[in-house]
A and B are shown apart, each in its own frame.
Chain A
Amino acid sequence: MRYVDEFRQPELISRAADEIRRLAGTERHYRMMEVCGGHTHAIYRFGLKDILPENIELIHGPGCPVCVLPMGRIDDGLAIAHEPDVIFAAFGDMMRVPGTQGSPLEHKARGIDVRIVYSPSDALKLARLNPDKHVMFFAIGFETTAPSTALTIMRAKAERMRNFSVFCNHVTIIPAIRAILDSPDMRLDAFIGPGHVSTVIGCRPYEWIAQNESKPIVVSGFEPLDMLQSIVMLLRQLKAGEAKVENQYKRVVPWEGNRAALKAMAEVFQLRPYFEWRGLGFISQSALRLSDKYAEWDAEQRFEVPGIRVTDPKAAQCGEVLKGVLKPHQCKLFGRECTPEHPVGALMVSSEGSCAAYHNYEHRKAAMVSLSSIA
């Protein structure tokens, strides 16, 4: 398959792995954070840990939109879903995320109209097909998905759709990285930068990480070869004592970002003064809401929203895992109370969540006698 197989070629991958081993040596330990949940998923899915030397430690970052959403927001969205004649539409990722009274799927089983959509425009299509219902799109995601939400809202306005609204949970990546760097228990050497987010925002917004924090960052693609090449680039910077922003994912990410997408976001959204992130707490100017001229399509303005705040279950250590302080399996609930079938925290739900990725792809490997016996 084109655009995929080229980046999974065994010979190239083993050459990249050799180069990483050569650069990494054995003298010191490297801690690199992959910011994006898509990278976390790729690391486990492709078994990249098996081919990296032991002194390269990958720390899973906060870039999984489902994972950082506090439970109260899910409860708020589901409260609207319980209003008469409302259709709750969301990405499949959201469907099994637990709220206080169960996940959207469990609400669906109790008779609430919950639909999976693959894009915000599909939710708008649902509204067109159901003129006597109100379709509320539960929007999540970083700058990756925010532009498509913005364009859909602009379309809804242009078509004067009255039976459509968006419950906006869009967040922005830069304040989250800043919060991670400000966290006192966090020691990192470098960042594998988020690929999809950067297709929209470009590479410039990361320059402060290199300049002020002296940490190298390489914006990376999602195939095995992309990620290994990014690690090579980071090691070369670290060995040379440099800290700069580099773009490994040039085939997709323009340095300046996507102007049209940024323009649509600026048209529709404005920054919230602060927003709660699961595990990271309140972060100022880290999330988007609909601007006043689109208030009519803002579910938070059209409906009574209870504004529920729910504290995470005490025993769950989602926050520590999200910040990379704990590995998934070091959480007290991992694999016992919290499993992909019965998730306690969102990290166990989303395929981009480090707990789900670790549980699905990795954790029983520890029981194996030796991986080297596998041809």
Chain B
Amino acid sequence: MSASAVFAESAPMRFRDPQIEMAHGAGGKASRKLVEGLFAPLLFGAAPGPLGDAGQIDIDGTKIAITTDSFVVKPLSFPGGSIGKLAVNGTVNDLAVSGAKTEALVVSYVLEAGLSTQVLETEVRAMAKAARDAGVRIAAGDTKVVEHGKADQMYVTTTGIGRLLPGVIIDPRSVRVGDRILISGPIGDHGITILLARGELDLEADLRSDTRSVLPLVESVIAGAGPGIRWMRDPTRGGAATSLNELARDCGLGMVLFEDQIPVRDTVRGACELLGLDPLHIANEGQFLAVVSPEYVDAAINALGLAPGGYEAQVIGEVREQPAGTVLVTTLYGGSRIVDMLVGDPLPRIC
């Protein structure tokens, strides 16, 4: 949750749910209601405008992007990543899709008494490596310890500040009819990897989390198609469907996706078919969505294709006037369905 920081009076609270449920942390509809109904009015005052992945502050004429993210993933490590790697990349990515390069991170740990030092060391080393890989300095930190049983091993919060990259303006209100919707690679790898890593299902698959810094891809697409980029978002909790629904609502237009163009690995599709999940609702930790004007779409795909790890980027849909405020998926044979934000929480604590 971030918004332009302004000194504003509190606005009336509109959040009516009597208690906090897991769904309020799932990144879908309930999360949105909590943020817009409680946090935003009380912290930012009335009408903060569309909520992006990072806020912007102005210090003596210098614009800085800032954001924060907490990580409570269970299990701590999984194929392709772990909480340490996730905690660095998650914040780096939130800033990257806001058009900013992370300069420094602040790290905060909540540790459960009884946590093995070896586990902590492994995760801190993973953070150090991820920070080096992303070219980010860890500038400060804090640690708290709670009684055994009052937390689940360890939680990590990272806060990042970033320098705005020149040549791009991210604003959902700049999205126009005819713009194209891009994804940087296959969706759902992270969420399904975590689900399988918990071992609660008797399912096995050769699948790794996509956890990575998307900054190199973002820099590449800005270099190749910067003036055409209207909006970007990393579709973590709630998946691509939730991010696109937020965009649809913020710009008042329809997001039409072509089902056969959406890249999904067979293992992810198979798991989703079995479990009755929609890959569009599954979390990603190393992909981003972009809306690009039609004249820049080829340049954007080329730029992504040339960057390391961007060869699976695809145009998956386009912006239409109708259905306004809605995401619609069309199939090759002429059927279509609405895809709403995630409701409820099929997979708690995936990041």
Contacts A106-B21, A367-B324; is A361 near B338 (CB within 8 Å)?
yes
Residue of A nearest to B258 (CB): A375
Q: Report how far A95 CA is from B346 CA in the complex, Å.
A: 10
B335 touches A365 (CB 8 A): no
Q: Which B14-65 residues have a C-beta within 8 angstroms of A?
A: 19-23, 29-30, 33
Asked if A159 is an interface residue, CB under 8 A from chain B, the answer is no
Tell me which of A92, A341, A359 contacts B346 (CB under 8 A). A92
Asked if B340 is an interface residue, CB under 8 A from chain A, the answer is yes
Q: Give the distance to chain A from B243, nearest Cβ to Cβ, in Å.
A: 17
A50 touches B334 (CB 8 A): yes
B344 touches A96 (CB 8 A): yes
B334 touches A51 (CB 8 A): yes
Asked if A63 is an interface residue, CB under 8 A from chain B, the answer is no
Asked if B135 is an interface residue, CB under 8 A from chain A, the answer is no
Tell me which of B269, B273, B324, B337 contacts A362 (CB under 8 A). B337
A224 touches B340 (CB 8 A): no
Asked if B92 is an interface residue, CB under 8 A from chain A, the answer is no
Q: Give the distance to chain B from A6, nearest Cβ to Cβ, in Å.
A: 13
Asked if A47 is an interface residue, CB under 8 A from chain B, the answer is yes
B343 touches A340 (CB 8 A): yes
Q: Give the distance to chain B from A228, nearest Cβ to Cβ, in Å.
A: 9
Residue of A nearest to B329 (CB): A47
Contacts A1-B266, A1-B269, A96-B344; is A50 near B21 (CB within 8 Å)?
no
Asked if B333 is an interface residue, CB under 8 A from chain A, the answer is yes
B19 touches A374 (CB 8 A): no
Residues of A within 8 A of B340 (CB): 340, 359-360
Tell me which of B258, B320, B323, B337 contacts A47 (CB under 8 A). B337
A105 touches B21 (CB 8 A): yes
B20 touches A47 (CB 8 A): no
A341 touches B331 (CB 8 A): no
Tell me which of B254, B323, B333, B344 contacts A10 (CB under 8 A). B333
Asked if B147 is an interface residue, CB under 8 A from chain A, the answer is no
Residues of B within 8 A of A122 (CB): 200
Q: Report how far A363 CA is from B338 CA in the complex, Å.
A: 8
Q: Give the distance to chain B from A260, nearest Cβ to Cβ, in Å.
A: 20
Asked if A240 is an interface residue, CB under 8 A from chain B, the answer is no
Asked if A333 is an interface residue, CB under 8 A from chain B, the answer is no
Asked if A158 is an interface residue, CB under 8 A from chain B, the answer is no
Q: Report how far A341 CA is from B32 CA in the complex, Å.
A: 12
Q: Report how far A95 CA is from B348 CA in the complex, Å.
A: 13
B336 touches A341 (CB 8 A): no
Residue of A nearest to B336 (CB): A47
B343 touches A13 (CB 8 A): no
Residues of B within 8 A of A1 (CB): 266, 269-270, 273
Q: Report how far A47 CA is from B275 CA in the complex, Å.
A: 20
A118 touches B337 (CB 8 A): no
Contacts A367-B324, A369-B322; is A224 near B338 (CB within 8 Å)?
no
Asked if A14 is an interface residue, CB under 8 A from chain B, the answer is yes
B333 touches A51 (CB 8 A): yes
Residues of A within 8 A of B282 (CB): none
B344 touches A365 (CB 8 A): no
Q: Report how far A105 CA is from B337 CA in the complex, Å.
A: 28
Using a Cβ cutoff of 8 Å, how many contacts connect chains A and B? 102
Tell me whether chain A's interface is mostly helix, strand or loop, or mixed.
helix
B331 touches A47 (CB 8 A): yes
Residue of A nearest to B254 (CB): A368
Q: Give the distance to chain B from A269, nearest Cβ to Cβ, in Å.
A: 25
Interface centre among B275, B331, B339 (most CB of A within 10 A): B331
Residue of A nearest to B344 (CB): A96
A109 touches B22 (CB 8 A): yes
Q: Give the distance to chain A from B321, nearest Cβ to Cβ, in Å.
A: 8
A368 touches B201 (CB 8 A): no
Asked if A149 is an interface residue, CB under 8 A from chain B, the answer is no
Q: Give the distance to chain B from A13, nearest Cβ to Cβ, in Å.
A: 4
Contact with A along B315-332 (1 / 0, CB 8 A): 000001111101010111
B338 touches A362 (CB 8 A): yes
Asked if B276 is an interface residue, CB under 8 A from chain A, the answer is yes
Q: Give the distance to chain B from A347, nearest Cβ to Cβ, in Å.
A: 15
Residues of B within 8 A of A375 (CB): 258, 330
Residue of A nearest to B20 (CB): A109
Q: Report how far A224 CA is from B259 CA in the complex, Å.
A: 14
Residues of A within 8 A of B197 (CB): none
Residues of B within 8 A of A45 (CB): 337
Asked if A46 is an interface residue, CB under 8 A from chain B, the answer is yes
B333 touches A224 (CB 8 A): yes
Residues of B within 8 A of A105 (CB): 21-23, 344
A365 touches B334 (CB 8 A): no
Tell me which of A224, A341, A362 contacts B29 (CB under 8 A). A341
Residues of B within 8 A of A51 (CB): 333-335
Residue of B nearest to A366 (CB): B323
A118 touches B201 (CB 8 A): yes
A365 touches B323 (CB 8 A): yes
Asked if B256 is an interface residue, CB under 8 A from chain A, the answer is yes
Q: Give the distance to chain A from B274, nearest Cβ to Cβ, in Å.
A: 9
Q: Report how far A305 CA is from B330 CA in the complex, Å.
A: 48
Q: Report how far A7 CA is from B69 CA in the complex, Å.
A: 42
Residues of A within 8 A of B323 (CB): 364-365, 367-368
Contact with B along A20-51 (1 / 0, CB 8 A): 00000000000000000000000011111111
Contact with A along B254-286 (1 / 0, CB 8 A): 101010000000100110010110000000000
A367 touches B322 (CB 8 A): yes
Q: Give the distance to chain B from A37, nearest Cβ to Cβ, in Å.
A: 11
Residue of B nearest to A228 (CB): B333
5 tightest CB-CB pairs across the interface, nearest first? A47-B335, A361-B337, A10-B332, A13-B333, A10-B333
Known: A47-B331, A340-B340; 17 extra A-B contacts, CB below 8 A, are A10-B332, A13-B333, A14-B334, A44-B337, A47-B335, A105-B23, A105-B344, A109-B19, A118-B200, A224-B333, A351-B276, A359-B340, A360-B340, A364-B326, A365-B323, A374-B256, A375-B258
Name 13 interchain pairs, CB-CB below 8 A, sorted by A: A1-B273, A4-B269, A47-B334, A51-B333, A92-B346, A95-B344, A108-B22, A109-B21, A341-B33, A341-B343, A362-B337, A368-B328, A374-B330
User: What is the interface of chain A, defined by CB distance below 8 A to chain B?
Assistant: 1, 4, 8, 10, 13-14, 17, 44-51, 92, 95-96, 105-106, 108-110, 118, 122, 224, 340-341, 351, 359-365, 367-369, 371, 373-375
